[in-house]
Structure 1
């Protein structure tokens, strides 16, 4: 989304260079194809690098593969950038990578390019990443065993067990790679952040103040950047969701979705179903087959491709058909959240889903599964105060049906839900302003664009 604004608002030509660990997903190709066919995006090119493999590493976790994907793609990346440099000469001014791609900074320096990080999560997590190298030196043992929570500048305290998944085992390669990359954040010419001050005021203000220190690069809060609208033609099951919502009262439906890859165990899936039934509330649930390897699974784990409906409690679909719709695998999330009938969102707390909910003014039930989502849940419940978080049973690691029913009713018809609804409305209005013509996010992106354009002047 940053690339689209740089193209449309600041007349940049953008080339997306994509390292791969296999064939590009259909979703990724569709997004980029849509962007390329948009008349406003005629200055967008896409280059897929040859897939890397990990045959030399045994039992590599998916997050480790993500960390290593760019490192093992440096040689072809260098060749692509050298080719672009030859074509564009001094007009090739910068390289933007994600937080796992800091090894590419060395190539950028070779070619006299500015280096930037596009940070795709929250300011709180960026603050943690900037602090991690120092934490690694200070703390002994595992973070989850610490007696005191981690305290980040102007953020709510975070208990060790709620920190990012890759830091939960300090002996793991993923942790060592994360410390390595976050230590290199300071080498960036700037960090582009997909968030905005009204959502994370304390954390962002602290990051902006810390720019004055030589060890911290400038931060550009340019969010919220989200994709809107359906990509491609409306399929029958997508249309079914929206038609069903058309027939529901305003603000009455809880949307339940765990993102593009989130799964639950069989027992947790059943507790969720029974909790939704007990709540008596309307719901639209995107359901997937359970993953019984862990209580809270993800696409990082083994998936079961059987019919998800076969794992629901007996009679559940029949009992709830008057007030609930269950669909498999996918729903048009942006359209669902924008629909007037949607009054709440039970989410895994992925940052894209979070921002989509904020932009559409929908309060949340925070149900984190993996990656950075527990930290996002802390931010949403304790700092931004736009979400409720159910309690997990410590004995079995499950959220019970009674807890689910209670928290769903509280969000959809209780006083706490009303308070959250008012708060998220304020944040929604702020989100509209910051990306407006004179908004803070628009100005931050303009400042970045000006900084990049000034590099071309240095050569002339």
Structure 2
């Protein structure tokens, strides 16, 4: 009788938020499908986001990966109501550590590796206690990783606020970062989230390796900086490898809801690549004034549109982070310009709160995406060959917008930073027309052509023998020992 071997078991831990949970589930699926591993995802959930619940209910194919929900611990006594999202996430994951430890120690078969998102870095010592490997999965790109891990050095080098610096911040072997493009936690060094961010930056390097959601051709030079002998690797005396395993994006979910079905039916009736999709991600929100200008801009562009719309905020741009998908549609209409709905009837569709984004971006009639530039949404756009209008709001999105528009040529962006000034209607109309020109057969559109090239490059990277396939295989091999 042949001896039965248990499969190699990896446990992946995600912090709350769709932008964290979805990438971790997709990485887990990849280990199962590509390497026959057993994967368990520990998803610490906010308990307040309708969309998060939907994703967890629909994305869970038990045959692929086992998901265990860990309800978010009560942290009301540990944070202030106006503390930043990063502070909340860091404290939540610190408090969730005993639950993670308990599940890890009882898991069967015994895990061979622990993979965490950066907010869970304090769980890395748990892997050491169990004598297993630990990896960090940053569901973002290599330039973002470079800024994060180099931040403790910048913290020593630079006096005063980063945003007041006159020169870009230099990172060995990588493009410098403009002061206004830094991550949110770096905007104010006196805020509690800055200290949490520095802890996170140091914590990442305590792991046995870092996985990033990018691929070799997209960011070759930046990835070279991390390799042995690379300038950044040398500057930080890095002892751990960085693996480019992306672009890992979700598959469209089957959604039989009447909202999604009527939306897809409407898209079926539109010409090829004629519709601009407008969405600011799972947590992004606009001010009342900006929402009105966007409505006017879409109308002026004379392009078809699908706009995922939620009530405006005068607070932080990420105000919806923990409550995604909980909007009431009829509330939104009162913030739009008078007559907008009747004037754009037939030309555009409003979707309240949240939409099945992958189903929309994959549709042949969608030709452009006005996006907050969250990295998940960016990759979903690129892998479907849809050019972007970059509209960054929070987190690392300003840096993403600069990478996409200025370095990679995959997006157009407004002349003003949307987090600092209102983007005017004429400029909005201009950008939409730039990604969806009048007569595409006559127009050579460099952004559109570049996006189509990158779409092919992404497919190549993930296919058997491609760069990202090979990198993930190297991770799997190290885990199997």
What is the rounded CA distance, in whole Å, between the counterparts of 2:421 and 2:380 in structure 1? 28
**Equivalences for residues 399-410 of structure 1 within 5 A:** 399-410=423-434
What is the rounded CA distance, in whole Å, between the counterparts of 1:359 and 1:265 in structure 2? 30
Change (3 A) 1:424 1:153: farther
Match of 2:337 in 1: 313
State the 1:392 CA deviation. 2.4
Match of 1:253 in 2: 275
Q: Is the 8 A contact 1:200 1:384 kept in 2?
A: no
1:229 has 2:244 as partner: no
Count of equivalent residues: 445
Alignment equivalent of 1:123, drawn from 133, 138, 142 = 142
Q: Is the 8 A contact 2:278 2:371 kept in 1?
A: yes
Unaligned runs of 5+ in 2: 1-25
Alignment equivalent of 1:74, drawn from 90, 97, 109 = 97
What value does the CA root-mean-square deviation take over the aligned residues? 2.4
Match of 2:264 in 1: 242
SS in 1 for 2:41: strand
Q: Is the 8 A contact 2:327 2:352 kept in 1?
A: no
Match of 1:51 in 2: 73
Alignment equivalent of 1:269, drawn from 283, 291, 309 = 291
Match of 1:438 in 2: 465
- 1:257-315 alpha-carbon deviations (Å, 9 max, x no partner): 11122111111000011111111122111111111235x45415999856111211011
What is the rounded CA distance, in whole Å, between the counterparts of 1:128 and 1:252 in structure 2? 37
Unaligned runs of 5+ in 1: 455-460
Match of 1:5 in 2: 30
SS in 2 for 1:133: helix
Q: Is the 8 A contact 2:327 2:353 kept in 1?
A: no
Alignment equivalent of 2:216, drawn from 197, 211, 232 = 197
What is the rounded CA distance, in whole Å, between the counterparts of 2:403 and 2:424 in structure 1? 23
State the 1:216 CA deviation. 4.3
- 1:66-92 alpha-carbon deviations (Å, 9 max, x no partner): 0122212222222222212xx43xx42
What is the rounded CA distance, in whole Å, between the counterparts of 1:355 and 1:161 in structure 2? 23
Match of 2:243 in 1: 220
Q: Is the 8 A contact 1:95 1:113 kept in 2?
A: yes
**Segments of 4+ in structure 1 off by > 6 A?**
301-304, 393-396, 414-417
Q: Is the 8 A contact 2:252 2:359 kept in 1?
A: yes
What is the rounded CA distance, in whole Å, between the counterparts of 1:289 and 1:67 in structure 2? 28
SS in 1 for 2:189: coil
What is the rounded CA distance, in whole Å, between the counterparts of 1:399 and 1:418 in structure 2? 23
SS in 2 for 1:17: strand
Alignment equivalent of 1:424, drawn from 451, 454, 471 = 451
Match of 1:457 in 2: none
